[in-house]
Amino acid sequence: MCGILFSLATREYSVNQNEWEVLKELNTRRGPDSQNLKQVQSCNCSKEDLSLQFFSTVLHLRGANVVPQPLCGPYTGNILCWNGEIFGGINVEFGQNDTQVLMDTLEKASSEIEILSALQSIEGPFAFVYYKTSSKKIYFGRDCLGRRSLLWLRSDKGAFMLSSVGKAKTNQDDPDVWEEVPANGIYSIDLNTDILALEEPNELPKACGYPLNLFPWAYIENYDKLDMLKKGKLSFPFPRLNATLPDHEIIDEANADIEPPIDVNMEKAITEFKSVLGESVKKRVADIPYLDTKGQARVAILFSGGLDCICLAALANQYLPMSESIDLLNVAFENPRAEKAKTQTPKKSKKRNPKKNQTEAVKKEQKDVQESKRSIYDTPDRLTGKAGVEELRQIAPDRTWNFVEINVPYPEAMEYRQRIIDRMFPLDTVMDLSIAMAFWFASRGKGVIHTQDQVVDYESHARVLISGLGADEQLGGYSRHREAFRHGSWERLIQETQLDVDRISTRNLGRDDRIMSDHGKEVRFPFLSTYVVDWLCQQPIQLKMDLRYNRGIGEKILLRHVARELGLVNASRNWKRAIQFGAKTAKMTGESRSEKGQHKLIQE
């Protein structure tokens, strides 16, 4: 994980120095191990002076030693700011630093097509800025799934800027706007362009008057990738979904809650998916450097006890030395609104039945006694998390599983609320805050663990966080998938799933990156390895999900089979639950019941 900050300025379009210093500090939180600035003075075809600033911060996660950024070519003067991980496409040997390997690859590129070809081939999340001195071209962008944050500042009067994290404007009349760079391709700026001679308008934002050029990601089938690069298009590393319709018949309700038998096609899919997903996990956990953390875990799982994260935990167990512990980060919030709802007296029925009322009173009293014994932090995710870690301890009893109970009192949540709002910027809805708050406190890793009869304060120092995000989108985990199947059977379900895959890059991965990196941590998504996405896209829909069956069976049916193969029998029946409800951050701060997730936050 690294922080990127870049500016292109001229005499007419200057850098706001106060904003630059704030952004430097924010990016330093992402990369506490190294911070460096590289400045370049150049000129355009009109002999106008140009000023380029490259500021990079580094969180050491690859190789034996910290490799400071920006990286500069000793003979070429080329400059690279890299925030990403290379898990395939370009060969990075075990123990090598991937930033250095990428720079060496780019240094050998003699043309724009070779630069784009190298970047297109990378398997892994990334955001970057690269300056090619000889051609005076700046390249920047995000990977095709948008797994790393990169923002740009659109300005009609100031410098063009790129940053891993942004700053909300204090003056609402200020026309400058920070936005996420769309993960729709790789952008370039040609500083040799004669901007005075430009006639055709460009729909893309300009950088100090220079037009942006876009090399878009595209589904390319039956075409040579090199030919498409010559036409200015990048190839997605995965195809569209397999649209073959199954010939399955409708099943009756009596069988809808029974796990279907495993046929030869499903058995093959289970074996292959376990291998593909396992390899994805291996690449994300096995090559993390050992730092001075007094024997603590190198890897932590964002752990609700749900199907997705517990499968990743079980797979991580296979690829880490048994002597190492694994942290399971489970977050729960004190939610005053939810606690108040527990104590409210239900409305009385109009019809009075003394015997029935007496029975209900006894039941309520018993329930109140049970509730009084339960902690306010026994949220749904806490309960499934406790059950999940016990199952992991059964399949891997020699492993130390640190179940970190991260309990967040309401006053503490309010103390950090504004900081979290600032980090998730430019996203600004009620739902964004609910999710961001859960991720921010979970990734901070401060909680307690239970050791025998003691409760001990514990802080996870694992720099790599593993997330199960991406499973629901590809394996039919959302209620909208059931609705699509109910209204239009398999054909509509394929369309809905394709839509989900297409919009992964436009959803919230940039926000999650900004939130969790605020603690100097990096989040990795094994389900979003492009190799995993590629394999899943090729599979027939009925092997991934079979929504003729009820909840807990039909959705993510392939992953449920894998869970049972891993020995996670109980967890294989878990349902999908959004983190804001599982951790109880939903509507924690909202006073109005009419407040919806898509509503904008009220500025204080």
Structure tokens at 444: 């901070």
The kind and range of the H/E element at 141 are: strand 137-142
Which residue matches tokens 């709802």? 341
How many Å separate Cα 450 from the centre of its chain? 29
- The span from the CA of 71 to the CA of 107, in Å, is 11
Please pick, among 2, 309, 311, 537, the residue that the annotation labels catalytic: 2
Closest CA to 583 of 351, 354, 407: 407
Beta bridge partners of 79: 72, 131
Around Cβ 343, how many Cβ atoms within 10 Å? 8
DSSP 237: S
Helices (H) and strands (E) in the chain — how many of each? Answer: 19, 21
Coil, strand or helix at 342: helix
The kind and range of the H/E element at 581 are: helix 579-582
Around Cβ 507, how many Cβ atoms within 10 Å? 14
Coil, strand or helix at 198: coil
- The span from the CA of 16 to the CA of 376, in Å, is 47
Contacts of 352 (CB under 8 A, 6+ apart): none
Q: Is 81 among the catalytic positions?
A: no
Q: Which residues of 462-477 are buried (b: 16+ CB within 10 A; e: fewer)?
A: bbbbbbbbbbbbbbbb
- The span from the CA of 148 to the CA of 257, in Å, is 40
Secondary structure (DSSP) of 49-106: EEEEEEEEEE---SSSS---SSEE-TTT--EEEEEE---BSS---TT--HHHHHHHHH
120 burial (CB, 10 Å; 0-12 / 13-18 / 19+) is buried
Structure tokens at 256: 């809808």
DSSP 451: E
Active site residues: 2
